[in-house]
Amino acid sequence: MKKLVLFDMMDTLVRDPYFSAAEKFFTQPKSQENFFQCKNRDSFISFEKGEISEKEYFDHFYYQEKVEQLSEKEESFLISPQRLSSFLFKNLRYVCGMKELLLSLQKEKEVLTGIASNYPEWYWKVIHALPELKQCDYLFFSCEMGSRKPEKSYYLSIQKSIQEYQKENSIPFVEECASTGILSSIKILFLDDRKKNLIPAEKLGWETHWMKNAYDAEDAIQKFLH
């Protein structure tokens, strides 16, 4: 049976540049507080699910009614979403030790690697900057799936994609997941830095690991493979 090691992307394989980028612009008193108070989290969730375009996301980056409560000076210090996003992809780097771990897994013949991430259409910028990610066998991003972790539909979509790949490539089905009835010849280990994202995966019969650093990730992967 093939084994698939499936990684979350940000803060599991790659350091999330978002907060360090935002902090670069927090140069005035209360600027950080105002930023998080006015930022529209719902618009980013919609962007991650592919429900709105980048332009629509930028247009609704802040809650306008909250911005209007700021003084003119405070408003002038809010970060432009275009400027923030352009800075994000200049500061991409792996979580310490994870590049080496990923490369070692990609050399194993009976091991598949994949990414399962909540991320918008910008994911292509990440995998362009860090080409080892492109070598993964599976790439699952919420913007193309229409759902996000920890929604159950997200994980079911992954299982369905794997099943379809097996059919297209005439891979025999040797195991049935009792909770879903989906046949598979691939056993999955899913690593994520957020514990809540592991719970639905566990219910589907996947093995999971709460990612803390590359050392404990490598230990969990070795146990899974052997």
For residue range 18-67, list pLDDT tens digits in order: 877 777 888 888 888 999 999 999 999 999 999 999 999 999 999 999 99
Query: How many Å is the Cα radius of gyration of the chain?
Result: 20
3-class secondary structure, 118: coil
Write down the residue that tokens 């598979």 correspond to.
Answer: 184
Residue 147: how many other CB atoms lie within 10 Å:
17
- Output the average pLDDT for the chain: 90
pLDDT of 183 reads 44
Residue whose entry in the numeric block shows the structure tokens 């691939």:
186
- Report how far Cα 220 is from the mean position of its chain's Cα atoms: 19
Model confidence pLDDT, tens digit, residues 77-122: 999 999 999 888 888 999 999 999 999 999 998 899 999 999 999 9
- The confidence score (pLDDT) of residue 165 equals 73
pLDDT tens digits along 67-85: 999 999 999 999 999 999 9
Query: Quick one: pLDDT at residue 185?
Result: 64
CB 120 within 8 Å of CB 43: no
In this predicted structure, the answer to whether residue 162 has a pLDDT above a threshold of 70 is yes
Please tell me whether the peptide bond between 81 and the residue prior to it is cis, using omega within 30 degrees of 0.
no
Domains and CATH numbers, the chain: 2-15+93-225 (3.40.50.1000), 18-88 (no CATH)
- pTM score of the predicted model: 0.89
